[in-house]
Structure 1
């Protein structure tokens, strides 16, 4: 088992990847040690390093604003708990609504292989049931899948634009064309996509004061990025289409610090309104299926033409290169497809898939998106241009795998609510009294906080609240 990468080494790798100033690393204090979650993978290291990269990028923006430096600190136990923030969420003292659909999960197929189904959205659930021709019950799904091979069902589901993954080992994934494409990509990329004059950061009391973020995201990774930017003072406007389903616990947990509006970009009036919002934005953050936002007229180059100087931040499931570049996916499926579930199961000595103890690819990708966004803002403020940041769950999974394994990590106790009570905070919200995870990325002079409560989607008008920058 390869020796694990130290948290400091992991952070330095992230920091240098985007060409950030090396002296900033001297101002980062990383406390705690593996293991902090029951896993053979370095999930705690991934949590600490990704959160620290975002916090350090916020501190660097503060230095650009004020010519003063501040210290950054991230504790590994806190970071790992934040990687499971949705698990610890309570509303009026009660657990949030159930996250998973009753037939979601892993099933053995007729060839002995496994597939994982993601059926939390009704159209994905109904599509799977239509292919299988069975009842909406776990037993019925299990029996129907015995008539399929894992690879055939994965392919049939992909052709129907559904979200299913066949379980692979690392060796299988490394030999797969998409696995090879992912291995050839950097963890995240920052690319100039247009010319524009610099927009210096405005005066403000926080690293992202006056920065407007237009957010088009759902589920975990994209919303975590928006939540992180809000924690450092950005004005974040979350835009959802009213006809799209949402997962209530995730929307509640990741909605802190944001205003939430409804627009349907298929409608001409709403599309025009969104374009107007974009003209006043500094960052556009989107995590919809590859090409989906571009089809509506707001892809990276399109957005840069509407708003020169935009920082455009994209999340995908399987990266922007390779045969699966357009494929839909979620954290649990990418874990299954890319070998992580097999490797974890082998370490535990069990048959069948074993997921990581957190939606680690989602959460890490969220902080990497926020890190990339802030690094791009720093570039824009100093040299101008429009910029595109790209992150994918599969690239994040490849990075996690490369951090090494934790000997005996699976014996670590699984922290329950009481174990992390000291890391939680209570606040009012549009859903009731919220008990939720504090942010682990601490800055000495501008501590992170969320000024706005989490509210139901569509609560606010689709307009900017503050003056921001034009």
Structure 2
């Protein structure tokens, strides 16, 4: 569905992405001003429209939940927040970026995008290609040679079967005609469940500092919970100790949160997580469909233990379609959906050969950041809905559905111009940080992160009694 377009506080044609939430829950969020230029990245897709529209949806929902009238969306902050990792500096040093085995590799009939920034994904990629860790001194070269002899979809299939993460580059028509592309197109951008029955007395569920249990990683989920923390939520992020988050990601996405480690395969840790859920208001999860249920945190158990719990979740490919249980990341969805093809360019393979399209990428990981904004918008709206009806509902967002939305947006004709990014500085246990300013702004700059990222994994598995720095 293509959203309606209108004027939002001086910027014309910003997509209305809150409408689907409000329609399902019967909510009318207040208007929020949007200031600054409408176009700055340019390119073949309206990435700015997706960024501004998702930020506006989150801001309107935040204003509805908090009752604040000073929340605004500024284009410079949106541009900075959506490209946050590229602006991050830790004691003056830039983040490392993608690992050597993450990127586009040429196959025998096109290109494939791999994601091997996490050690377990690198191991899976090597296994899929028959490459042991000690095979050579040039792992990237070995992967390049192995993939070069395979058709792109065969390489995709082998990598996923081994538990890795990869996606062949497809054209937009190839994607839209595929079973997974059709499933993504049939999925609502924000799939909202208002809840079947009231489990609480109307008006009894209000907690001005809602407790949010964060079981997400990388960018999209942590973007959602960072926004919730920005406006006062007590966010406790829990990661598995055997799969730690990359430090750069933590320092970019965990402002205002506490972080802890717990292995959900351990019955004692799982029991403690259920206790935290019983005391929480919101559970945000980025686990693939069925993964939490396999760990004993299925929907029925959570409903019994935590009837007040609003549950929101995200994944790469959505809840239906042949890839619904596969691993995925923003870069892989770009590759599969045709976005990488649109941002690519023709490059001749040889003097007598037909051109082969060289892949490109969005200027920022907009699918991740937009998904996080939209999930935050759904979360605040569901908290209002729970307060008014006593029903604890849920919502789901997938990167594939966000990609479908981006591909459907009309593209402005003007090229735009570079925009000045809003940056801030703060101290952390891991060093002095230069980082993007919060997504939202206010007239007196009263909207600020409660505290910088803390030492990763160093907090206890408890809810805080008061705001902590």
The TM-score with structure 2 as length reference comes to 0.89
Change (3 A) 1:118 1:133: same
Aligned counterpart, 1:276: 275
CA–CA separation in structure 2 for the residues paired with 1:343 and 1:351: 9
Q: After TM superposition, give the deviation of residue 70 of structure 1 in Å.
A: 1.0
Q: After TM superposition, give the deviation of residue 395 of structure 1 in Å.
A: 0.4
Q: After TM superposition, give the deviation of residue 130 of structure 1 in Å.
A: 2.0
Q: Deviations over 1:266-305 (max 9, x none)?
A: 1111111111111100000011222211211223343222
The farther-off stretch of 444-453 and 334-343 is 444-453
Q: After TM superposition, give the deviation of residue 467 of structure 1 in Å.
A: 7.4
Aligned counterpart, 2:375: 369
Would you say how many aligned residue pairs link Structure 1 and Structure 2? 448
Change (3 A) 1:442 1:312: same
CA–CA separation in structure 1 for the residues paired with 2:178 and 2:324: 13
CA–CA separation in structure 2 for the residues paired with 1:114 and 1:47: 27
Change (3 A) 1:79 1:198: farther
1:31 pairs with 25, 28, 35, which one? 35
Aligned counterpart, 1:57: 61
Aligned counterpart, 1:189: 191
Aligned counterpart, 2:351: none
Q: Gaps (5+ residues) in structure 1?
A: 64-68
Change (3 A) 1:3 1:449: closer
Conserved? CA contact 2:205–2:386, under 8 Å = no
Change (3 A) 1:444 1:57: farther
CA–CA separation in structure 1 for the residues paired with 2:42 and 2:356: 15
Aligned counterpart, 1:436: 435
Aligned counterpart, 2:258: 259
Q: After TM superposition, give the deviation of residue 408 of structure 1 in Å.
A: 5.8
1:117 pairs with 102, 114, 118, which one? 114
The TM-score with structure 1 as length reference comes to 0.89
Aligned counterpart, 1:464: 463
Aligned counterpart, 1:86: 85
Aligned-residue RMSD, C-alpha: 2.7
Q: Secondary structure at the match of 1:305?
A: helix
Structure 1 residue 240 corresponds to structure 2 residue 242: no
Change (3 A) 1:198 1:166: farther
Aligned counterpart, 1:200: 203
Conserved? CA contact 2:35–2:74, under 8 Å = yes
Conserved? CA contact 1:118–1:333, under 8 Å = yes
Q: Gaps (5+ residues) in structure 2?
A: 348-354
Conserved? CA contact 2:21–2:378, under 8 Å = no
Q: Deviations over 1:18-76 (max 9, x none)?
A: 32777645x3111223321243221112111111211111110123xxxxx61432122
Alignment of 1:285-296 (within 5 A): 285-296=284-295
Change (3 A) 1:286 1:174: same
CA–CA separation in structure 2 for the residues paired with 1:347 and 1:57: 43
1:155 pairs with 154, 157, 169, which one? 157
CA–CA separation in structure 2 for the residues paired with 1:260 and 1:22: 33
Conserved? CA contact 1:83–1:360, under 8 Å = yes
Change (3 A) 1:137 1:239: same
Q: Deviations over 1:396-432 (max 9, x none)?
A: 11111112224464x855x6xxx42xx1111121212
Conserved? CA contact 2:195–2:392, under 8 Å = yes
Aligned counterpart, 2:385: 379
Q: After TM superposition, give the deviation of residue 230 of structure 1 in Å.
A: 0.2
Conserved? CA contact 2:224–2:375, under 8 Å = yes
Q: Deviations over 1:191-246 (max 9, x none)?
A: 0345311463788xxxx732000000110000011100000000000111111132
2:130 pairs with 123, 130, 133, which one? 133
Q: Deviations over 1:70-89 (max 9, x none)?
A: 14321223212210111111
Conserved? CA contact 1:44–1:77, under 8 Å = no
Q: Deviations over 1:413-465 (max 9, x none)?
A: 5x6xxx42xx1111121212221111132356994322122023211110011
